[in-house]
Amino acid sequence: MQRTLAAVAACGASVVGGNDREVVIDGGRAHLREPAAVINVGNSGTTMRLMAGWCAAHPWLTVMQGDASIARRPMGRVVEPLRAMGAFIDGRDGGRFAPLVVRGGSLSGIDYRLPVPSAQVKSAVLLAGLAAEGTTTVRESVPTRAHTEEMLAAAGADIVVESGAVTVRRSTLTPLDLDVPGDPSQAAFWIVAACLVAGSDLTVGPVYVGPGRTGFLDVLGGMGADVTVEDEDAVAHTAVVRARSGPLKATTVEGDEVPGLIDEIPILAVAAALADGTTTFRDAGELRVKESDRIAAMVAGLRALGATVEPHDDGLVVTGSGGKPLIPTEGSAVDAHGDHRVAMALAVAALTAADDTGPVAIAGWESVATSYPTFEEDLRRCQSQ
């Protein structure tokens, strides 16, 4: 969030707060301007891809760069449709990789089918479509998270959501007050931890449970986890999730269910490491091009903690311990490779280690601040209760 706030502030929006529980943004086209310096997105691929679409809608030049992980992540998937709309975008390898240079304005709507399921690409095209001539339609064969279209509708955009397609027309947005529910990707760490740590009974909420965000709960349900969804609000798409410890069984995660839980696979792999039987994750090659190669990072990390894991090009196979504690190898150190989700997943895995194995050191822990600065504090609080 901090990177996105800094990016919109660089484009002239007034941003107040953002370090606690509230942020106020005062924008509007009269206040916006070409950024005076390069925008640094850190390792936030969401910031770079969504900002590419947003900046394409404005007649100015924007240059965005990030850290080493951003330099490796594929950007051609968002550059291609934005170019088709009329934006000028350049970058390394013909625009396939950051840094990106975006010169926007004078856009025309397109009818675009996502070649790879991606809510980030969908969002970038929709944001550009707000300033394009004609209609812009994004079609997807597999539903992805719908945060952007929900927020645009709430802000008064001319938007139509149908099965498999979202269409937007040139729109003037109106300010709104928004109560952001808990992120299911963050909640997943606590829910899995409660399933694995003996004697746990943990309630998390309110958590967003709208389209494309509850796949990991379905997987845990299929593994026999004691997880219940309570106090659902159909309008806000929120619920309270209660998780209690208990035995898990192996499952298979593949196909159309993967896009809706791609960010939760690292923590689901931890659940699989303690389950009874062999769990297979496939059709998840997207994990190779996240903040790290998450397949390689999770395989190495879980093996160091004593789990049995095998990598594949598009996933991994985890042979569970049947509920027995993990026994880390000598040294008890793992490397998160600068990836926040890997770091938090390995921290949860460390909770399941045998009591006499000592502490586990996680290199790259500082990356957790990217998405969850208070994770360690919350973890200590849960352990003390």
Q: Return all residues near 227 (Cβ < 8 A) that are at least 6 apart.
A: 191, 195, 217, 220, 221, 241, 242, 243, 244
Catalytic site residue from 231, 263, 283, 314? 263
What's the chain's Rg over C-alpha atoms?
21
φ and ψ of 161, to 5 deg: -110, 120
> Is cis: bond before 99, omega within 30 of 0?
yes
What does each C-alpha distance from 277 to 146, 249, 251, 315, 348 come to in angstroms?
Answer: 34, 6, 8, 17, 20
Q: Which of 213, 215, 209, 204 is nearest to 236 (CA)?
A: 209
In one letter, which amino acid is 103?
R
Q: Which of 262, 310, 314, 297 is nearest to 120 (CA)?
A: 262
Q: Which of 113, 114, 115, 100 is nearest to 51 (CA)?
A: 100
φ and ψ of 85, to 5 deg: -85, -10
> Is cis: bond before 115, omega within 30 of 0?
no
Q: Cα–chain-centroid distance for residue 41?
A: 15
Using the 8-state DSSP alphabet, how is residue 324 labeled? P
Q: Which of 187, 77, 70 is nearest to 124 (CA)?
A: 77
Is residue 143 left, alpha or beta, with left meaning phi > 0 and alpha meaning psi from -120 to 50? Answer: beta
Bridging pattern class, strands 226-233 and 252-253: unpaired
Matching residue, tokens 């997987």: 219
Is residue 178 left, alpha or beta, with left meaning phi > 0 and alpha meaning psi from -120 to 50? Answer: beta
Whether 263 sits among the annotated catalytic residues: the reply is: yes
Q: Which residues are identified as catalytic?
A: 263
